[in-house]
C-alpha cells in the first residue's frame, strides 16, 4: 500500500466535483483517521517470494498443490451407514518438503467429546478401518514421532514412510465408515427419506503459499477452505434411489432407463422444463435400470472442483432443462430433485437456470461445469457444493428463488474463486449476498437496493456488531452478529463502493478479480489490491472502515443559506467512517444540481464542510439521494428550506 500522504493526495485529485472550488472546509475538532491496511507476515513473505503481488495479480511463481480422489462408497439407508474406500493422490507443487499430511475427517463433528460451537446430536463420528502410505500400512499412534497417524477431533494427521519432496506425489489409502446423522446435523444428513452426504470422505487440508498448512478443525459454524481436485467416485445405493451429485454421470446407461435418458436428451435440446422422473414413474419403477442385486452403482467424474457431494432418495421426482452460459450457445444442464408437492419446487429448475445465466453474464465468467443440480430436503436454509446445492423447507416462490440464487452464486465464490471461507467468511457470503440483491431486483422487477431492508442497519452502532474480518469460528454465539458481519455488511460495503465509482468501473474491477483468481486461492489483500489496481484508487480507508472496524457513518445536512452568489449547503459528519458525500439540491422550478464532498475532506480531520450551488430558490437538499452510502441515520439527510 502507499503511504498515507499519497493516499490523501490521490483521493483529493480523484474527488468528483461539478465546479472548481465549489466546497470549503470548516475546521471544528479533528476526527480519527482510518489506519492503513497492514499486510499479514505470510502475505508479505509471499510477495517477496514471487507468489503474490501488490497489484492483485497472482505472482509469476504462484503455485497450488494438486489432488486426485478415487472413491468407492456404499450407502445403506436402513442402517444409515456409509462405508468407503478412497485413494488420495497428492502432488506437492510447492517449494517445501512436506513432512506430514493433515486430512479432514469432518464427520467426527458428531463424535463424543469433539469441540463444537453449535448444538449437535452425537452419532458416533468416523471409524477409520485402514490407512496406507504408498501401499505401506500406517497405524494409529499417540504422537507423530514415528510413522503413523494421529486423530485429534476432526483432523487426522499422517506421517508417512518418507516426506513428500517438491514435485513428489504420495498415494494415501483410507477406509472408513460412519453413520449418517439425522436432521439437525449442519449441512448434511438424513430425515429418513432424503439422504444428503456432504463433508463425508477424508479430504486433504490446503497447503498454500501464505500460511502453509491450513487445517483448522471443523466445529460446526465456520465453513471451509478446500483445494481444487479431480474426482472419480463410485456410489452404490439401493436400486430404487434417484441420485444427484457433483460431476458427470459416467454410468448413466447402467443406472438410468431408456425413458429417463430420452427425457434428459430432450431437456438438453429444448427450452422447456422437462419432467424427467414423475411420481408415476417412481410407482411404476420405470425410471431406473432393473438390478438383480437390488443395488446400482452411480459413477461420477469431476475435474477442478473443491469438493464432492451427493443426494439420494426413493421419493425424488426429477425436473431438467439447460442454461445457456455464453454467447457461443454453450450450455450446462439444470437438474432439480425434490419430493413431489413441496411448495414452490416445481419452479426450482426455472430459478436455477436463471441463476446460472444471470451470473455467467454479470460476472463475465461462463459457468464452467456440465450441470447445476438443486436438491430439496433436510436443512432449514441452503448449502452450496460444486455443481449441487441442498435447500430445505417449504418455501414461497420468492424465498426459494432467493436461496437458490444465493447458493448457485457460490459456484463462483468460492467454487471457482477458491477463497478461504473458514477464515474470511465475508469474502464468500458478502460477495454472494451482493450478487443475490442484484439478481432479485432483475428477476422480480424490484427496487435494486432499499436501505430499509438491509439487516446491517438493525445492529450498527448498538455495540452488538462485530467486524467482518474475523475467523468464521470466532463470532459470538446466539446473536445476529455473525450473519450480519459475514453476509449483509459486506454487501452493503460493495453497494457503497459501486455507488462511489459507478456501475461500469465497479464491475470492471469485480470481474477482473474473479478472472485473476479463478481456480486459485486469493487472500483479502488480493481482492483489495485488484480493486485498487483497476480503479486507480487507494481504498485503505474504505476497507478499514467497513471490514476491520465497526465504525458507523452518519452525515447530515446542517444548514442551507441562500446568498447572492449562490446557495451554501453545510454538511456535518458525526460518525467515525469517512465517505465521500454526494449532495443534491432540487430547485423549485424542477432543476437539480449535484456536488460531491470528497472523502479527503473527512480524512483530513474535518467534521463539517460547505458546498456551493448556483443561485435559485431551493425546495429540497439531500445527502446520498441514490441511497448507496452506509449511513446509519438517514433522518438528517434531507432538509426542506422554508
Q: Tell me, what's the pLDDT at 10? A: 36
Concatenated DSSP letters for 159-217?
Answer: E-SS-B-TT-EEEEEEEEEEEPPBBTBTT-EE-SSEEEE-S-S-EEPEEETTTEEE-PP
Altogether, the residues listed in the chain come to a count of 642
Q: Tell me, what's the pLDDT at 9? A: 31
The number of beta carbons lying within 10 Å of the beta carbon of residue 517 is: 22
Residue ranges, CATH 2.60.40, the chain: 4-34+552-639
Chain-centroid distance of CA 394 in Å reads 24
CATH level 3 topology of 41-61+427-548? Neutral Protease; domain 2 (1.10.390)
Question: Above 60 in pLDDT, residue 587?
Answer: yes
For the CA atoms of 198, 200, 205, 206, the dihedral, rounded to the nearest 10 degrees, stands at -30
Residue ranges, CATH 1.10.390, the chain: 41-61+427-548
Structure confidence at residue 452 as a pLDDT band (50, 70, 90): confident
Q: Tell me, what's the pLDDT at 12? A: 32
For the CA atoms of 306, 467, 222, 338, the dihedral, rounded to the nearest 10 degrees, stands at -70
**Nearest to residue 8, comparing CAs of 33, 38, 30, 29?**
33
- What is the helix (H) or strand (E) element at residue 76, kind and residue range? strand 66-76
Mean local confidence (pLDDT), 295-315: 98
CATH level 3 topology of 4-34+552-639? Immunoglobulin-like (2.60.40)
Mean local confidence (pLDDT), 508-514: 98
CA distance linking residue 501 with residue 506, whole number of Å? 6
- pLDDT tens digit sequence for 339-351: 999 999 999 999 9
Cell numbers placing 372:
447445476
- pLDDT tens digit sequence for 180-235: 999 888 999 999 999 999 999 999 999 999 999 999 999 999 999 999 999 999 99
- pLDDT tens digit sequence for 54-75: 999 999 999 999 999 999 999 9
Question: Above 80 in pLDDT, residue 236?
Answer: yes
CA-atom Rg of the chain in angstroms: 27
Least confident of 22-31, 287-296, 371-380: 22-31
Question: Above 90 in pLDDT, residue 13?
Answer: no
Q: Tell me, what's the pLDDT at 448? A: 66
Percent of the chain with pLDDT over 70: 95
Q: Tell me, what's the pLDDT at 450? A: 82
First and final CA of the chain: distance in angstroms? 47
Q: Tell me, what's the pLDDT at 641? A: 85
Sequence-separated (6 or more) residues with CB below 8 Å from residue 317: 275, 277, 278, 279, 282, 337, 338, 339, 340
Phi, psi (deg, nearest 5) at residue 299: -105, 130
Amino acid at each position: 500500500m502507499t503511504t498515507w500522504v499519497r493516499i490523501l493526495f490521490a483521493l483529493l485529485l480523484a474527488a468528483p466535483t461539478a465546479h472548481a472550488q465549489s466546497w470549503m472546509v470548516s475546521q471544528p475538532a479533528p476526527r480519527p483517521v482510518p489506519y492503513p491496511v497492514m499486510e499479514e507476515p505470510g502475505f508479505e513473505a509471499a510477495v517477496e517470494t514471487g507468489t503474490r503481488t501488490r497489484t492483485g495479480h497472482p505472482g509469476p511463481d504462484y503455485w497450488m498443490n494438486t489432488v486426485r480422489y478415487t472413491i468407492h462408497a456404499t450407502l445403506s439407508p436402513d442402517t444409515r451407514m456409509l462405508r468407503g474406500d478412497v485413494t488420495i493422490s497428492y502432488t506437492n507443487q510447492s517449494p517445501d518438503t512436506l513432512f506430514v499430511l493433515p486430512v479432514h475427517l469432518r464427520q467426527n463433528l458428531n463424535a463424543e467429546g469433539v469441540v463444537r460451537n453449535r448444538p449437535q446430536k452425537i452419532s458416533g463420528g468416523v471409524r477409520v478401518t485402514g490407512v496406507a502410505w504408498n501401499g505401506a500400512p500406517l497405524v494409529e499412534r499417540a504422537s507423530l514421532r514415528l510413522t503413523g497417524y494421529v486423530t485429534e477431533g476432526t483432523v487426522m494427521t499422517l506421517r508417512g514412510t518418507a516426506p513428500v519432496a517438491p514435485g513428489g506425489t504420495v498415494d494415501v489409502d483410507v477406509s472408513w465408515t460412519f453413520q449418517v446423522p439425522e436432521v439437525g446435523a449442519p449441512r448434511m444428513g438424513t430425515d429418513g427419506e432424503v439422504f444428503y452426504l456432504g463433508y463425508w470422505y477424508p479430504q486433504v487440508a490446503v497447503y498454500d503459499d501464505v500460511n502453509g498448512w491450513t487445517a483448522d478443525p471443523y466445529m460446526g459454524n465456520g465453513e471451509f477452505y478446500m483445494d481444487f481436485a479431480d474426482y472419480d467416485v463410485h456410489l452404490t445405493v439401493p436400486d430404487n434411489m434417484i441420485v444427484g451429485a457433483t460431476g458427470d454421470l459416467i454410468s448413466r446407461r447402467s443406472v438410468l432407463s431408456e425413458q429417463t435418458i430420452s427425457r434428459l436428451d430432450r431437456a438438453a435440446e429444448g427450452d422447456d422444463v422437462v419432467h424427467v422422473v414423475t411420481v408415476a414413474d417412481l410407482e411404476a419403477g420405470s425410471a431406473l435400470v432393473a438390478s438383480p442385486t437390488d443395488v446400482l452403482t452411480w459413477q461420477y467424474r469431476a475435474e477442478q472442483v473443491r469438493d464432492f457431494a451427493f443426494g439420494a432418495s426413493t421419493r425424488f421426482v426429477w425436473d431438467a432443462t439447460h442454461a445457456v452460459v455464453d454467447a457461443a450457445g454453450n450450455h450446462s444442464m439444470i437438474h432439480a430433485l425434490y419430493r413431489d408437492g413441496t411448495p414452490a419446487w416445481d419452479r426450482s429448475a426455472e430459478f436455477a437456470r436463471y441463476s446460472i445465466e444471470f451470473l455467467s453474464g454479470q460476472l463475465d465468467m461462463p459457468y464452467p461445469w456440465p450441470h447445476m443440480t438443486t436438491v430439496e430436503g433436510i436443512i432449514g436454509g441452503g448449502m452450496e457444493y460444486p455443481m449441487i446445492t441442498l435447500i430445505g423447507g417449504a418455501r414461497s416462490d420468492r424465498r426459494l428463488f432467493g436461496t437458490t440464487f444465493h447458493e448457485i452464486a457460490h459456484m463462483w465464490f468460492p467454487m471457482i474463486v477458491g477463497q478461504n471461507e473458514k477464515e474470511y467468511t465475508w469474502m464468500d457470503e458478502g460477495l454472494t449476498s451482493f450478487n443475490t440483491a442484484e439478481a432479485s431486483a432483475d428477476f422480480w422487477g424490484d427496487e435494486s437496493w432499499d436501505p430499509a431492508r438491509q439487516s446491517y442497519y438493525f445492529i450498527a452502532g448498538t455495540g452488538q456488531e462485530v467486524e467482518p474480518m474475523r475467523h468464521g469460528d470466532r463470532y459470538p454465539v446466539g446473536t445476529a452478529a455473525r450473519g450480519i458481519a459475514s453476509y449483509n455488511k459486506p454487501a452493503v460495503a460493495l453497494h457503497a463502493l459501486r455507488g462511489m465509482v459507478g456501475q461500469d468501473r465497479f464491475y470492471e474491477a469485480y470481474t477482473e478479480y474473479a478472472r485473476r483468481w479463478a481456480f486459485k486461492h486469493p487472500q483479502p489483500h488480493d481482492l483489495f489490491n485488484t480493486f485498487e489496481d483497476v480503479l486507480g484508487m487507494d481504498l485503505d480507508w474504505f476497507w478499514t472502515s467497513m471490514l476491520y472496524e465497526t465504525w458507523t457513518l452518519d452525515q447530515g445536512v446542517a444548514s442551507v443559506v441562500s446568498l447572492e452568489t449562490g446557495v451554501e449547503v453545510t454538511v456535518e459528519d458525526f460518525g467515525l467512517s469517512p465517505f465521500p458525500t454526494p449532495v443534491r439540491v432540487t430547485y423549485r422550478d424542477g432543476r437539480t444540481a449535484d456536488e460531491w464532498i470528497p472523502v479527503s475532506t473527512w480524512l483530513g480531520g474535518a467534521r463539517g464542510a460547505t458546498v456551493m450551488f448556483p443561485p435559485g430558490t431551493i425546495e429540497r437538499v439531500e445527502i446520498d439521494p441514490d441511497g448507496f452510502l452506509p449511513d446509519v441515520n438517514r433522518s438528517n439527510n434531507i432538509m426542506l428550506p422554508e
